[in-house]
Structure 1
Amino acid sequence: MKARPRIALIHATRVAVEPIESAAARLWPEAETMTILEEGLSIDRQKSDDLTLALWDRIVGLAKYAECAGSQGVLFTCSAFGEAIEDAADGSPIPVMKPNEAMFDAAFAHGDRVAMITTFGPAAGGMEDEFRAAAAARGSKAQITSYFCEGALDAKRAGDGATHDRLIAELASQITDADVIMLGQFSMAGATEAVRAATSIPVLTSPEAAIHEMRRRVEKSRRGAASC
């Protein structure tokens, strides 16, 4: 029997677990997912304006752990560790992905005015830098404007998904000068339906784009290995 590809999903908060596991089960049922939750990452990231060396080393170490556990691909689901994830990817023989890189590519196709809603404050700065770097690399003139949804993540963590979704949808309804709206965290995926009902602007989410791109990279890597 052909071995199922194992994909490691690395989380800094438990509210990101269900959205990506659901997307993986729906879009890539042949894959075996391995969930790694390290909540200390988000706790410690909130204590510092910058990504510390200790946090950097933990991100690289988690990617290496996933590789040693037999993973064929690694997907981080927290947006606040971009540079460290890039470092992990550079040193890994398997695909290692940041959470939003695939969604950024999709956003470029919609136009140059891109709005991004986030619920975890420390994530925005790094994501904006990643977006601009991706736009420059692709020759896109796209510009990003970030909007922070106060209180949404606290509601989600408290188990109040309805309030989480409502707050994000209310914020989205106030955005008028954008060609596309991105929901910046994996944990926001559950609000997609409410957001789309609140605005006529196209709405993109991370989990689906990430699974499609991870599948493409892993299958390409496996084909390359088979031909050696």
Structure 2
Amino acid sequence: MSFTVAIVGRPNVGKSTLFNRLVGKKLALVDDLPGVTRDRRPGDAKLIDLRFRIIDTAGLEEAHEDSLEGRMRAQTEAAIDEADVSLFLVDAKHGLTPMDKTLAEMLRRRNKPVVLVANKSEARGSDAGFYDAYTLGLGEPCPISAEHGQGMIDLRDAIVAAIGEEKAFGEEDVAETDVEIRPTEEELDDENYEPVYDDTKPLRIAVVGRPNAGKSTLINRFLGEDRLLTGPEAGITRDSISVEW
């Protein structure tokens, strides 16, 4: 992938919905309950003629750094620092909040490319929220509907304008098509069936267990970094997260 994009914004502005649309799969949990996404989730995205790596993030909130929300914020800030450009989502339907303005200031201080995205712009009464987004000082907002797929061409153009054509259309890594070979029903019914191990593909490991057994801590130990949220709270990880090792 030639570049990396981080999707950021306060809770419930549609970040995971946009992530799922761009990766073409329902990889991230989507719910009306705020705070469903906690860890940063990477994926391979496609937008018209663009191919890039995308990172879904937790909703940004003001919080003490030692709290769960503060640790979620640190994960999101790590994604912003890693990305070449951030898509800053605001909710055009419900309008701006003080948190939107705080986050806009934080993004400006980082001095990295930002595309301001006014999501839910298809909703009745969203015009006021769209025009209010200009007051954030991050340029012209790009109106989209992540749920319905509207405005994707404009979003593509805004990303190219933010990072430049050379970065947007740079040479992509050449990789073999990853085709997953699944066993047939007859093979699964055969008690003597043994799955074929393909040593040309990376080994995949699933870490499972009951809440607070130390799954995320073990993965962080493997990776040598605090990649996943950990803490004394039960059920911190709400979603399955795929990471390269």
Q: Identify whether the pair has TM-score above 0.5, normalized to the shorter chain.
A: no
Q: Could you say which structure has the higher helix fraction?
A: 1
Using the size of structure 2 for normalisation, the TM-score is 0.38
